[in-house]
């Protein structure tokens, strides 16, 4: 299959690209490599995929991987209404996996415009190109944050999601509505995936796993919001990737319900972990006790997430099976080796 993966220099996009290539597919990765977090990490992931930094830096030029002939990369923004159609025309994709987005709940209070640019305007451009270039299936990232103020757990896709509490969440809910409209009007399949707190090696520096490990190793205090009274359905990156790739690989006409073009799934671990237990797992793996700064709840944050993933198990035999302790160990082992190699610590 020939697949466009947007956000390929990002955390999840990198892993999805890698697994698709391992399965023999042909992948074009797209990313604008913005500086929301350390671009060194984004270029590092691309290097792993065989795209050297000096090539990846240039905008709007397709570079071929030096380690896998089935992978190429283009630095392009989803908002680029002129060049995006040229890419679709030239490459003839069958499936689009849209993982590029402005992520992060907290940052959406500081820079709301970035969410409208990437997640609304950018997503519209993806939909328009799916429509114009006969894409069979659009698989795209939504988020657990669409559940907003909902308190009933576990979260189910049949629950109402009309109470988002951050612009990030509102942009993801908008994506689902926009995808529904385009699937209905133009007849291509769309599958929205509500990801639940993804963590693992090469993870995002703005997320708890990374922030806590980094601070603890530097002897700095970690910020524990809502005085530790938070729970998250932490999902290990390998489990997520396996699920996403299964969805991409199953031809639309072989899906359980082939006449339903528009689908939404939760993709989580089906297990809510207390924040303090998560911190304990990090402390035990590092053999260091964290200095904790106990703080009140942050605006935009929700207290608890927990995914019901029955539909994904039923339709795709999705089986998340990485225990939190093992996932934390994998992350810390990567973190230590990556930063001692890169920065000579």
Calpha distance 144→194 (Å, rounded): 5
Q: Which of 95, 97, 105, 141 binds ligand NAD (CB under 6 A)?
A: 141
In the bound state with ligand NAD, the residue whose beta carbon lies nearer, of 115 and 188, is: 115
Counted residue by residue, the chain has a size of 345
How do 292-294 and 222-224 pair as beta strands?
Answer: parallel
Cβ neighbours for 187, distance < 8 A, ≥ 6 positions apart: 261
Under rule CB under 6 A, residue 238 binds ligand NAD: no
Q: How far is the CB of 34 from ligand NAD (least distance, A)?
A: 4
Neighbouring-strand partners of residue 304: 231
Q: Interface with ligand NAD by CB under 6 A: which range of 131-139, 176-184, 196-204, 217-225?
A: 196-204
CA distances from 129 to 86, 134, 207, 276 (A): 10, 8, 32, 44
Helices (H), 228-309: 237-249, 275-286
What's the CA angle centered on 265, arms 134 and 72, to 5 degrees? 45
Under rule CB under 6 A, residue 9 binds ligand NAD: yes
Residue 90: how many CB atoms within 10 A of its CB?
A: 10
Q: How far is the CB of 204 from ligand NAD (least distance, A)?
A: 5
> What is the x/- site pattern for ligand NAD, positions 60-79, by CB under 6 A?
-----------------xxx
Q: How far is the CB of 41 from ligand NAD (least distance, A)?
A: 8
Contact 328, 285 (CB under 8 A): yes
In the bound state with ligand NAD, the residue whose beta carbon lies nearer, of 100 and 281, is: 100
Q: Interface with ligand NAD by CB under 6 A: which range of 9-17, 126-134, 211-219, 332-340?
A: 9-17
What's the CA angle centered on 60, arms 29 and 69, to 5 degrees? 40
Contact 206, 107 (CB under 8 A): yes
Q: State which H helix or E strand residue 3 sits in.
A: strand 2-6
Tell me whether residue 168 is one of the annotated catalytic residues. yes
Cβ neighbours for 184, distance < 8 A, ≥ 6 positions apart: 261, 262
Cβ neighbours for 207, distance < 8 A, ≥ 6 positions apart: 197, 199
Active-site residue, from 15, 168, 236, 316: 168
Whose CB is nearest to ligand NAD? 10
> What is the x/- site pattern for ligand NAD, positions 81-120, by CB under 6 A?
------------------xxxxx--------------x--
Under rule CB under 6 A, residue 232 binds ligand NAD: no
Residues between 35 and 64 that touch ligand NAD (CB under 6 A): 42
Under rule CB under 6 A, residue 320 binds ligand NAD: no
Query: What is the DSSP secondary structure assignment for residue 151, as one 8-state letter?
Result: -
Under rule CB under 6 A, residue 169 binds ligand NAD: no
- Backbone phi, then psi, for 57, in 5-degree steps? -70, -25
Q: How far is the CB of 300 from ligand NAD (least distance, A)?
A: 14
The candidate with the shortest Cα–Cα distance to 8, out of 82, 63, 80, is 63
Sort residue 103 into left (φ over 0), alpha (ψ -120 to 50) or beta.
beta
Under rule CB under 6 A, residue 195 binds ligand NAD: yes
Q: How far is the CB of 31 from ligand NAD (least distance, A)?
A: 5
Q: Which of 4, 5, 27, 33 binds ligand NAD (CB under 6 A)?
A: 33
In the bound state with ligand NAD, the residue whose beta carbon lies nearer, of 24 and 91, is: 91
Q: Which of 3, 4, 5, 11 binds ligand NAD (CB under 6 A)?
A: 11
Under rule CB under 6 A, residue 34 binds ligand NAD: yes
Residues making contact with ligand NAD (CB under 6 A): 7, 9-13, 31-34, 42, 77-79, 99-103, 118, 122, 141, 143, 195, 197-198, 204
- Catalytically active residues are 168
């Amino acid at each position: 299959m020939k697949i466009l993966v947007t956000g390929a220099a990002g955390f999840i996009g990198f892993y999805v690209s890698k697994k698709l290539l391992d399965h023999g597919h042909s992948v074009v990765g797209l990313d604008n490599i913005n500086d929301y977090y350390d671009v060194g990490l984004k270029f590092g992931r691309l290097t792993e995929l065989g795209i050297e930094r000096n090539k990846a830096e240039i905008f709007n030029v397709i570079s071929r991987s030096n380690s896998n002939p089935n992978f190429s990369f283009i630095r392009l923004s989803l908002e680029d209404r002129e060049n995006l159609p040229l890419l679709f025309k030239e490459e003839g994709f069958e499936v689009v996996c849209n993982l590029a987005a402005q992520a992060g709940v907290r940052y959406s209070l500081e820079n709301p415009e970035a969410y409208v640019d990437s997640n609304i305007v950018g997503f519209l451009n993806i939909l328009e190109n799916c429509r114009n270039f006969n894409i069979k299936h659009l698989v795209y990232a939504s988020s657990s944050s669409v559940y907003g103020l909902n308190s009933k757990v576990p979260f189910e896709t049949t629950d109402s999601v009309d109470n988002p509490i951050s612009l990030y969440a509102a942009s993801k809910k908008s994506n689902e509505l926009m995808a529904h409209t385009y699937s209905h009007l133009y007849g291509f399949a769309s599958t929205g995936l509500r990801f639940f707190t993804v963590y693992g090696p090469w993870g995002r520096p703005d997320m708890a796993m990374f922030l806590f490990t980094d601070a603890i190793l530097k002897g700095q205090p970690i910020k524990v919001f809502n005085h530790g009274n938070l729970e998250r359905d932490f999902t290990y990156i390998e489990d997520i990737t396996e699920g996403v790739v299964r969805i991409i690989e199953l031809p639309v006409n072989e899906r359980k319900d082939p006449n339903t073009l528009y689908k939404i799934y939760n993709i989580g671990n089906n297990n809510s972990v207390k924040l303090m237990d998560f911190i304990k797992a990090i402390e035990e793996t590092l053999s260091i006790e964290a200095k904790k700064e106990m703080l009140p709840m942050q605006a935009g944050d929700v207290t608890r997430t927990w995914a019901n993933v029955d539909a994904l198990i039923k339709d795709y035999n999705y089986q998340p099976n990485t225990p939190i302790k093992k996932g934390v160990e994998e992350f810390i082992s990567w973190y230590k080796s990556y930063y001692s190699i890169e920065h000579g610590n």
